[in-house]
Amino acid sequence: MPEDLAIFIDWENIYISTVTEYKSKPNVSAILEKAREYGRIVSATAYADWTDGDFRQAPPTLYSNGISPRYISARYFPGGKSQKRRTNSIDVMLAVECSDFLHNHPQVDTYVLVTGDGDFIPLVSLLRSKGKNVVVIGVSEATSYHLIESADHFISYASLLEEDRAARAQDKESKREAADPYQELVRAVETLKRGGKTRVLGQVKQQMIVQLGSFDERNAGFKKFKDFVVEAERRGLVNTVDQDLELQVYLPDEEVPDLQEADLAAEEPQSRSRSNGRPAREEQEPEPKPGFDLLEDLTPYELKTVCTSVASLEQPATFVEIFSSIRELDERGELELSREEIGEVITAMLDADYLNKIRQRPYKEAKADMTFYALNSDKQEVRSVLNGA
């Protein structure tokens, strides 16, 4: 008997992505057909402001395919220093109702999220922590590679556009079986290099999915894509190095940047000292910008919340993990900080020695160390904040 599955569709995200990349509206039937390969659909919901623009035409089609349109009204309001303007709460509502569904329907084993938004990574982590299988369907060119990495399976929407998918499936499967995954890895890195694109692990896997239609490192005998890349590195096919806060993949004949002394966290704010995308001239002194003060710009509750969130991470953590944990607090409504302000908070924590910088290899086969950060729990001020003193 097939497993039960539930589908949650971020309609605005998938609609904008397909129209932008393929000049066509989402093919609902193709999405459902693909989802049925993973189990029996017991619930399907799509989220959007159905009064907005072209979205008004979608509900009849969704209803006819057994998908319930969930109406989320647009809202505009200021908040925090940056006067944020939020158009709706689709991400929040989808995550809340998916979590509620998880609690009330324990028999459902598979969750299909139709989106490319990296903001759903915490939701994916929650579902997987409860033993659920998570499938993400999204437009490859517009999907967060972090989201791809966090899911159990990622399905490129491009594969759903084939007119005769069933007839071609056998041929594509034989091609995938004949393909050498290591050579496809090299080809993916070469393609990204020619396109001038970043080559972090998730982006490389995404390119392999584009090349092969689908790719699962477990078919090659590895639990994680990183382990697959490590084996390729051991074979001398690629090199990895910590760059821009993440591991990037290089070809063996490329010169691997030496970033041993790079202070990646300190480099982040420098991008704001540019004008029209060009570096400021050295002789021009930028106007001094007031620094972010943890004690003055954050309330005691906010500072404790931030420190507690960082302390909950596995120590040491990457800059991206710390940034994401604080951003999640903002999404839950516990803080009101923009992306820029979150970066300023982390920089201030480094300046105030609330965070210690640690350089170590993420895994023993890596060619270079990576910068990690650990909460300085030995510091009296940090202990006082965590204890609410």
CATH code for the domain in which residue 32 is found: 3.40.50.1010
Q: Are residues 155 and 54 in the same domain?
A: yes
Lowest-confidence region among 186-190, 231-235, 368-372: 368-372
The reported pLDDT for the residue numbered 214 is 73
Residue 287 in any domain: the answer is no
CA atoms within 13 A on the CB side of 15: 17
Choosing from 161, 184, 208, the residue where a domain stops is 161
Q: Are residues 127 and 231 in the same domain?
A: no
Q: Are residues 181 and 107 in the same domain?
A: no
Residue 175 in any domain: the answer is yes
Q: Are residues 86 and 17 in the same domain?
A: yes
Instruction: Copy the structure tokens of residue 381.
Output: 């001020």
Q: Are residues 11 and 156 in the same domain?
A: yes
The reported pLDDT for the residue numbered 175 is 55
Residue 146 in any domain: the answer is yes
Q: Which residues pair with 41 in a beta bridge?
A: 5
Residue 342 in any domain: the answer is yes
Return all residues near 174 (Cβ < 8 A) that are at least 6 apart.
none
Per-residue pLDDT tens digits for 62-86? 998 899 999 987 665 554 444 444 4
- Give the pLDDT band (50/70/90) at residue 174: low
Q: Are residues 67 and 17 in the same domain?
A: yes
Q: Are residues 275 and 355 in the same domain?
A: yes
How many domains is the chain built from? 3
Distance CA 66, CA 55 (A): 17
Write out 269-336 in H/E/C secondary structure.
HHHHHEECCEECCCCCCCCCCCCCCHHHHCCHHHHHHHHHHHHCCCCCECHHHHHHHHHHHHHCCCCC
- Give the pLDDT band (50/70/90) at residue 35: very high
Residue 275 pLDDT > 60: no
Q: Are residues 21 and 110 in the same domain?
A: yes
Q: Are residues 219 and 239 in the same domain?
A: yes
Dihedral of the alpha carbons of 70, 76, 79, 83, in degrees to the nearest 10: 130
Choosing from 116, 144, 161, the residue where a domain stops is 161
Q: Are residues 14 and 150 in the same domain?
A: yes
Lowest-confidence region among 44-53, 250-259, 260-269: 260-269
Choosing from 101, 130, 161, the residue where a domain stops is 161
Mean pLDDT of the chain: 78
CATH code for the domain in which residue 309 is found: 1.10.10
Instruction: Let me know the angle formed at the C-alpha of 310 by 322 and 205, rounded to the nearest 5 degrees.
Output: 35
More confident residue, 177 or 302: 302
Distance CA 133, CA 283 (A): 56
Per-residue pLDDT tens digits for 308-320? 888 888 888 877 7
Q: Are residues 152 and 169 in the same domain?
A: no
The reported pLDDT for the residue numbered 279 is 44
Average pLDDT (268-286) is 41
Return all residues near 91 (Cβ < 8 A) that are at least 6 apart.
10, 117, 119, 120, 331
Say if strands 133-138 and 153-156 run parallel, antiparallel, or are unpaired: parallel
Residue 286 in any domain: the answer is no
Average pLDDT (177-197) is 85
Give the domain range for residue 37. Answer: 4-161
Q: Are residues 14 and 146 in the same domain?
A: yes
